[in-house]
């Protein structure tokens, strides 16, 4: 087995491109938070404690003062439910990890370092040092870039002028493209978009999030089974 130092370095090497890509997204997130009245300290806390980009962008979109705690927690839960499957898939590969190491590792498990670790496990045993290499600086990078964005965001002025208010819409479209699985996703997206927009116009925020999400999930449930199931995997 390789030295832990070398394992760590290889993890860091594998996560580096995703880390660089996360910097402008983190800066933007911090600036959007500043636009909603969050302080840099609050943004740093959220990045460090929640560490889930998609859920954090969704939260800042529905954020208002005082913070709607239940709505924010529900939106965060729905967006992060995928972690359950990610963790269930990675757990059998964490053979050399102590229970404490597992508990700490999943705290910093994100889409990117999860994917790197899954790929690594195909070739050789996944080590604590490798996982730490993909996770620790990636986590710190997110906390720092979002905090810097919040510090600079108050100087940026109206985000609408630079089109920054549309940036998370564009980011989410890009993220959805990454989850694309053909017609099933198209039906989900259409149902979610129409239900969300209709509820937003008629009942107002924040109900559009739950309405759209449930409509999209229901559409996928209705479609499911008819399509390529396990056989396509």
Partner 1 sequence: MKVDAVTLAAILAMAAVTYATRVAGLFLVGRLQLAGRAKAAFDAIPAAVLIAVIAPSMLASGAAETLATVVTAAAATRLPLLAVVAVGVASVVALRALGL
Of residues 45-64, those binding partner 1 (CB under 8 A): 45-46, 49-52, 54-59, 61-62
For the beta carbon of residue 38, count every other beta carbon within 10 angstroms: 21
Binding-residue total with partner 1 (CB under 8 A): 108
Comparing CB distances to partner 1, the nearer of 124 and 183 is 183
Contacts with 47 (C-beta within 8 Å, 6 or more apart), sequence order: 26, 56, 142, 143, 146, 147
| Stretch in the footprint of partner 1 (CB under 8 A) among 1-9, 123-131, 132-140, 189-197 | 189-197
Print the SS3 string covering 121-176: HHHCCCCHHHHHHHHHHHHHHHHHHHHHHHHHHHHHCCHHHHCHHHHHHHHHHHHH
Q: Which of 86, 116, 128, 129 binds partner 1 (CB under 8 A)?
A: 86
- The candidate with the shortest Cα–Cα distance to 24, out of 133, 167, 166, 136, is 167
| Stretch in the footprint of partner 1 (CB under 8 A) among 2-10, 17-25, 125-133, 138-146 | 17-25
| Stretch in the footprint of partner 1 (CB under 8 A) among 8-16, 116-124, 127-135, 180-188 | 180-188
CB of 9 to partner 1, least distance (A): 25
CB 191 within 8 A of CB 218: yes
Is residue 177 part of the contact set for partner 1 (CB under 8 A)?
Answer: yes
Comparing CB distances to partner 1, the nearer of 3 and 231 is 231
């Amino acid at each position: 087995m390789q030295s832990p130092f070398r394992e760590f370095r290889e993890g860091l090497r594998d996560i580096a491109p995703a880390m660089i890509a996360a910097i402008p997204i983190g800066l933007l997130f911090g600036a959007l938070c500043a636009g909603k009245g969050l302080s840099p300290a609050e943004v740093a806390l959220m990045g460090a404690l929640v560490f889930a980009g998609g859920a954090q962008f969704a939260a800042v979109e529905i954020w208002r003062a005082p913070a709607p705690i239940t709505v924010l927690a529900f939106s965060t839960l729905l967006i992060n439910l995928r972690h359950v499957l990610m963790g269930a898939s990675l757990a059998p590969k964490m053979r050399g990890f102590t229970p404490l190491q597992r508990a700490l590792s999943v705290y910093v498990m994100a889409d990117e370092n999860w994917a790197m670790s899954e790929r690594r496990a195909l070739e050789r045993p996944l080590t604590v040092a490798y996982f730490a290499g993909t996770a620790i600086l990636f986590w710190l990078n997110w906390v720092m870039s979002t905090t810097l964005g919040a510090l600079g965001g108050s100087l940026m002025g109206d985000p609408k002028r630079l089109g920054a208010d549309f940036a998370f819409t564009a980011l989410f479209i890009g993220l959805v493209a990454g989850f694309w699985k053909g017609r099933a996703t198209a039906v989900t997206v259409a149902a979610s978009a129409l239900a969300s927009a209709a509820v937003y116009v008629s009942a107002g925020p924040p109900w559009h999030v739950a309405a759209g999400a449930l409509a999209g999930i229901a559409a996928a449930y209705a479609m499911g089974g008819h399509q390529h199931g396990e056989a396509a995997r």
